[in-house]
Amino acid sequence: MTILQLAIASLSVGIGALIQGSIGFGLNVVAAPVLVLIDTTLVPGPALFAALALTILVGTRERGGIDAKGFGWLILGRLPATTAAAFTVAVLPERGLAIALAASVLVAVGLSLAGWKVRRTPATLVTVGALSGVMGTISSVGGPPVAMAYQDARGAQLRGTLSAILGFGATFSCVMLSIAGRFGTEEIRASLVLLPGIVVGFIASRWTAHLLDRGFVRPAVLGFSAASAIAAIVRYAI
């Protein structure tokens, strides 16, 4: 990796970490498309490891806000859905599924802007967890469904709960990649290259998170959820 490539990679993960540290998700929405252009070995393993490191940092900072009960229901939905999605991708067109799921996020954003709100009941959280697992498996963007469910929560609860669920997902994915032989010594070395950008973005997010907590969390969640969905649609439609 050249110095220029390293600088671009560090900038992309730094910006992604800043966004995720502020609203709870967004690292690989920003960083993954850039990293794969720089070096294909940076995705998925190193990118997922960097995401895991960030979720640990944000989760530790926001540990008091984690919705432990809600996390349990989200995991209950996410685990089987992630497994099912892995098999579904093997038999159904990945492109069509990714576009359909991204479009559903845009619909949810529109409904939220119109005044519709998700009640965080066990049933809805299991459903949201399942959607997150499917989207995370198919398009690497699993944050928006959970963020939409917690859009009216306190900033700390939103970021803490998202960090818990995304951290669990990243850990599971890294273990599976390791078993498959796609996350070994080379990928670990590549992961270390990304960590400085993660740390810088996380530190900077302390200020932006505090700013958003002054009444701007919901607009930020809706705006970035819509942007993530549009980016996924564009990526798979082209």
pLDDT at res. 129: 93
Closest CA relative to residue 65, chosen from 162, 141, 152, 151: 162
Q: How far apart are CA 135 and CA 108, in angstroms?
A: 14
The DSSP code sequence of 112-147 is HHTT------HHHHHHHHHHHHHHHHHHS--HHHHH
Splitting the chain (238 residues) into consecutive groups of 10 residues, what average pLDDT does each group show?
Answer: 92 97 93 89 89 96 96 94 75 73 85 84 95 79 89 95 93 83 88 96 97 95 92 81
pLDDT at res. 92: 66
Give yes or no for a contact between 15 and 54, defined as CB atoms under 8 angstroms apart: no
Q: Which residue has the tokens 């990293």?
A: 35
Closest CA relative to residue 167, chosen from 20, 15, 4, 18: 20
**CA dihedral (162, 96, 50, 12) positive or negative:** negative
Q: How far apart are CA 126 and CA 79, in angstroms?
A: 10
Which H or E run includes 6?
Answer: helix 3-23
pLDDT at res. 90: 63
pLDDT at res. 67: 97
On the CB side of 113, CA atoms within 13 Å amount to 13
